[in-house]
């Protein structure tokens, strides 16, 4: 199954449950773009950790959410 299909299905399920999911959706879409449209089995924990680490320090918005 492709990563984008997994993310689309997850977001559709969350919406069907009435969850407001805008910021998480943005993050998941960025992750999909960063990984490329690949099979979900090809996404490694190292790639996820690298994406989450980002490029630079955490923003004020991230600090407020923590």
What is the average pLDDT score of the chain?
A: 87
Q: Give the helix ranges, DSSP H, for the chain.
A: 3-16, 22-35, 45-53, 60-65
Query: What does pTM read for this prediction?
Result: 0.73
- Express as a percent the part of the chain with pLDDT over 70: 85
Distance CA(8)–CA(5), nearest Å, equals 5
Q: What is the pLDDT of residues 29-56, one digit of tens each?
A: 999 999 998 999 999 999 999 988 887 7
pLDDT of 25 strictly over 60: yes
Bigger pLDDT: 60 or 35? Answer: 35
Residues 32, 7: Cα–Cα separation, whole Å: 8
């Amino acid at each position: 199954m492709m990563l984008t299909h997994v993310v689309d299905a997850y977001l559709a399920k969350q919406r069907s449950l009435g969850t407001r999911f805008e910021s998480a959706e943005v993050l998941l879409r960025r992750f999909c773009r960063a990984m490329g449209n690949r099979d979900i089995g090809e996404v490694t924990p190292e790639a996820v950790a690298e994406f989450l680490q980002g490029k630079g320090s955490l923003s004020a918005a991230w600090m407020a959410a923590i």
